[in-house]
């Protein structure tokens, strides 16, 4: 009876390491076989998980909820090791060798010993600071040190997952191949699903987490690209893996093309920006009546966009063909085509993709904002089509398409209604106008399109609002962030540049914001502000800011933006160096209609 009372008192006083380990891995660390009709074997946590991602997800979660990252000593020398989580140089070298053996040969005996040590400390308080405040004595950081050792091993064992290694390392990388197989789409790597009425195909979704035993309703784990060079967080300690929130909070996936990844090989990335719509009418903004039909009962209204610029879809398709042909006169390799927020719908995107790949078969991807997604659901979406090197059934490389919804609704206040000259369509006396759009479950797609390069696309308010995605983007660290906007001119002093700077500084993403010429043109015509032709803005980790200008005239035109990659070295806070890739701006060229 006294023992039960003691256990109850302990449970009330603090949450143990094992309590949280069982929370993140509720079914144990190793699948137990079931013999015949016998009941399932109880879960066990004594066996080291088979995947480094599972080890990483478990211990990174323990360290995050315990708040102990600030106790980690980055240096290999420490004047007060008993008051810090400290790893000597000899210990770090041993961890590196253990990780190498696990990564290249699948040997994990030494790592199992460290995992067993963690389990022997499972009754320790999850919050060491709680015990230190109560002066319960030294040794309260022992389990934390063990967890940090496992985190570093798991992170180093996942090398090569998000970026290439040296040739000798690439030859023998058991874990990379195992984890890559784990990340295949649900129905298999080669499964193609034709989108109704389209020449495009859609692969099934990649898993939300590259883990096997982790409960993805608690945390998820994906690869990462750039490493934060500022701050002291778990994401600045890991080089290869990112700890992400539960899949229900934001459903993420790391998508790679089918077939061999293209070498970065210092080739440029030339992107044709087509800032459609080139003209927006005031009546394209339409009030959406309340469902109950009662006006004047709310301090806000709702609006939708009519997209009059798509009434003749063949027109924009022809413009795109011509601009691609003209762009090819300026570059040896046109790599991508991009449209701003809300520029297209699904049908026009499908037509344009077919036309674009007919004119330039080597295009790597096309991105556009759209009013409908792949399933013809209305709303505010981003559509992404990617070329896969592996040949399809017709003997040609196949093109897949994915879509996701915008994470926030556009909010127009009275000032913006005036700035965009929309007062005749949206009453400026209404406090604010909200975009009519269903958000549903937020999603993020990280597209790895070359060996060292990954991009993610945001839609307008996604960039301006920190929740729910900024922390995720900082954890994964894509090399490129494209922000599709329906906004005014992209000036260094406006909000787009400000929020692009936050991601350029941490974790070092190169960010390009891109808006339509139609809305800028409306602002210029209002005469309220000095006229501008800045349709896009570039910001990278060096602090470089580049405005990208719409060519002279009001007719259809585009801009060819040339980016070039640069080798860069990122460092984790424990001193490990990683060869990485950073994209830099190297010029813009006006592309005019013939």
Dump pLDDT digits (tens) for 138-176.
Answer: 446 889 999 999 999 999 999 988 888 776 666 677 787
222 lies in the same domain as 326: no
Number of Cβ within a 10 Å radius of residue 291: 7
Give pLDDT, residue 223.
95
Helices 313-327, 346-359: crossing angle, 10 deg rounding:
30
Give pLDDT, residue 538.
98
In a domain, 496, yes or no: yes
353 lies in the same domain as 210: no
What are the start-end ranges of the E strands in 341-486? 365-372, 378-391, 397-405, 411-413, 432-435, 443-450, 453-459, 480-484
289 lies in the same domain as 148: no
DSSP, residue by residue, 537-558: EEE-TT--EEEEEPPSSSSSEE
291 lies in the same domain as 430: yes
In a domain, 253, yes or no: no
327: containing domain:
269-298+313-592
Segments of the chain scoring below 50 in pLDDT: 1-8, 10-11, 133-139, 188-190
Q: What is the largest CA-CA distance in the chain?
A: 89
188 lies in the same domain as 273: no
Structural contact between residues 431 and 413, judged by C-beta atoms closer than 8 angstroms: yes
CATH number, domain containing residue 524: 3.60.110.10
Distance CA 301, CA 288 (A): 8
Give pLDDT, residue 133.
47
Give pLDDT, residue 502.
93
**Count of domains for the chain:** 2
218 lies in the same domain as 286: no
Distance CA 561, CA 585 (A): 8
278 lies in the same domain as 143: no
- Written as six digits, the tokens of 450 are 């070359």
- Residue that has been written with the tokens 């190793």 in this structure: 30
Give pLDDT, residue 298.
63
Give pLDDT, residue 188.
47
Structural contact between residues 400 and 201, judged by C-beta atoms closer than 8 angstroms: yes
Distance CA 451, CA 370 (A): 29
In a domain, 263, yes or no: no
208 lies in the same domain as 346: no
End-to-end CA distance of the chain: 89
Give pLDDT, residue 331.
95
291 lies in the same domain as 184: no
In a domain, 251, yes or no: no
412 lies in the same domain as 279: yes
In a domain, 349, yes or no: yes
Give pLDDT, residue 293.
60
190 lies in the same domain as 291: no
Distance CA 245, CA 251 (A): 9
Q: For the chain, what percent of residues have pLDDT higher than 90?
A: 66
Query: What DSSP state is assigned to residue 278?
Result: S
In a domain, 260, yes or no: no
Dump pLDDT digits (tens) for 514-547.
Answer: 999 999 999 999 888 999 999 999 999 999 999 9
In a domain, 144, yes or no: yes
In a domain, 583, yes or no: yes
Find out whether the peptide bond into 532 is cis, omega within 30 degrees of 0. Answer: no
218 lies in the same domain as 292: no
What are the start-end ranges of the E strands in 478-544? 480-484, 510-514, 534-539
């Amino acid at each position: 009876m006294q023992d039960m009372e003691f256990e109850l008192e302990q449970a009330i006083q603090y949450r143990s390491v094992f309590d949280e380990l069982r929370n993140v891995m509720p079914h144990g660390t190793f699948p137990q076989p079931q013999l015949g009709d016998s009941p399932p074997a109880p879960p066990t946590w004594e066996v080291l998980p088979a995947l480094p991602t599972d080890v990483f997800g478990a211990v990174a979660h323990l360290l995050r909820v315990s708040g102990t990252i600030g106790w980690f000593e980055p240096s290999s020398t420490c004047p007060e090791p008993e008051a810090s989580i400290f790893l000597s140089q000899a210990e770090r070298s041993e961890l590196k060798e253990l990780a190498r053996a696990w990564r290249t040969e699948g040997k994990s005996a030494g790592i199992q010993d460290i995992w067993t040590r963690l389990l022997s400390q499972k009754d320790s308080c999850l919050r060491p600071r709680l015990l230190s405040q109560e002066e319960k004595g030294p040794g309260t950081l022992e389990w934390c040190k063990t967890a940090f050792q496992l985190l570093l091993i798991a992170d180093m064992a996942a090398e090569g997952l998000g970026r290439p290694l040296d040739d000798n390392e690439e030859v023998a990388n058991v874990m990379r191949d195992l984890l890559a197989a784990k990340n295949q789409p649900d129905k298999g790597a080669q499964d193609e699903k034709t989108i109704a009425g389209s020449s495009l195909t859609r692969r099934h979704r990649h898993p939300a987490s590259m883990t096997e035993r982790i409960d993805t309703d608690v945390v998820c784990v994906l690869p990462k690209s750039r490493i934060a060079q500022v701050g002291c967080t778990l994401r600045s300690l890991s080089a290869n893996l990112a700890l992400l929130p539960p899949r229900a909070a934001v459903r993420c996936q790391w998508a790679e093309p089918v077939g061999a990844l293209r070498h970065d090989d210092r080739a440029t990335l030339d992107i044709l920006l087509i800032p459609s719509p080139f003209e927006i009418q005031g009546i394209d903004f339409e009030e959406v009546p309340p469902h109950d039909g009662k006006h004047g009962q709310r301090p806000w209204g709702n609006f939708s966009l009519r997209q009059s610029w798509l009434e003749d879809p063949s027109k924009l398709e022809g413009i795109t063909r011509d601009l691609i042909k003209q762009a090819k006169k300026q570059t040896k390799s046109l790599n991508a085509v991009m449209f701003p927020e809300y520029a297209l719908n699904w049908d026009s995107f499908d037509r344009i993709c077919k036309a674009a790949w007919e004119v330039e078969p080597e295009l790597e991807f096309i991105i556009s904002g759209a009013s409908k997604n792949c399933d013809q659901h209305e709303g505010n979406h981003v559509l992404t089509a990617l070329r896969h090197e592996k040949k399809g059934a017709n003997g040609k490389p196949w093109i897949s398409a994915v879509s996701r919804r915008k994470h926030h609704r556009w909010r127009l206040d009275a000032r913006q209604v005036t700035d965009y000259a929309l007062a005749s369509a949206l009453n400026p006396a209404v406090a604010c106008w909200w975009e009519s759009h269903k958000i549903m479950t937020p999603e993020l797609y990280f597209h790895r399109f070359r060996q060292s390069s990954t991009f993610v696309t945001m839609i307008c308010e996604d960039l301006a609002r920190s929740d729910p995605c900024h922390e995720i983007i900082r954890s994964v660290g894509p090399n490129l962030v494209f922000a599709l906007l329906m906004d005014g001119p992209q000036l260094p002093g406006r909000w787009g540049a400000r929020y692009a700077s936050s991601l350029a500084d941490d974790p070092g993403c190169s960010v390009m914001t891109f808006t339509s010429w139609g809305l800028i043109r409306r602002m210029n015509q209002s005469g309220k502000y000095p006229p501008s032709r800045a349709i896009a803005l570039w910001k990278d980790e060096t602090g470089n800011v580049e405005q990208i200008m719409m060519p002279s005239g009001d007719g259809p035109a585009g801009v060819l933006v040339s980016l070039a990659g640069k080798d860069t070295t990122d460092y984790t806070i424990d001193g490990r160096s990683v060869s990485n890739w950073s994209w830099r701006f190297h010029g813009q060229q006006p592309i005019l209609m013939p």
